[in-house]
Structure 1
Amino acid sequence: MSDPVRFLRECALGTRVTVRRRIDDGFTDALGYLRELSDTACVVETRRGLVEVPLDAVTAAIRVPEPPPRRAPRHPIV
């Protein structure tokens, strides 16, 4: 989709997304679940916590599949 902000506005909350945004040194991504969306920002729940992304800094956004299930350990934990 050519307009990432429009894509985010059309996404249902809870959708797993990657949002790329501009920062001072270049770009950074937030991978996780879309939790909030306002007129000025979106909030993505990542493995490290909630990340607020200003919509005017968003350069790309896509829907991503659910992560694969965790594998069992090779050796039982004793």
Structure 2
Amino acid sequence: MTSQSPESRLREAGTGRRAVVRYRIPGGLTDALGIITALDPDSCTLETRSGAVTIPWHLVTAGKPVPDPPARRARPGGGMLA
């Protein structure tokens, strides 16, 4: 079985899909979770909760599309505060 590279998996998923990307930073690794907004020859960009993150491909160590987050549950009692 041949394993796809993280770049190949993310390119196959395409823009508009939710994904997680693990990449190197000074002193270790970190993850970005968000919607893929751009895939170019040098990098990928994800729109995360804290803003856009552009990650050069040479720093990516893992990446894959992930399911959409579960729907938020309504608060008991209709969410109204007393």
TM-score higher than 0.5 here? yes
Question: 1:8 offset after TM fit, Å?
Answer: 1.7
- Indicate the structure with greater helix content: 2
Aligned to 1:49: 51
Larger Rg: 1 or 2? 2
Question: 1:73 offset after TM fit, Å?
Answer: 2.3
Aligned to 1:25: 27
The runs of 4+ residues in structure 1 deviating greater than 3 Å are none
Where does structure 1 lack aligned partners over 5 or more consecutive residues? none
> How many residues align structurally?
78
Where does structure 2 lack aligned partners over 5 or more consecutive residues? none
- What is the TM-score with the length of structure 1 in the denominator? 0.89
Question: 1:59 offset after TM fit, Å?
Answer: 0.3
Residue identity opposite 2:24 in structure 1: R
Q: How does 1:1-78 map to 2 (within 5 A)?
A: 1-75=3-77, 76-78=80-82
- What is the TM-score with the length of structure 2 in the denominator? 0.85
Question: 1:74 offset after TM fit, Å?
Answer: 3.3
Matched position secondary structure for 1:20:
strand
Percent identical residues: 44
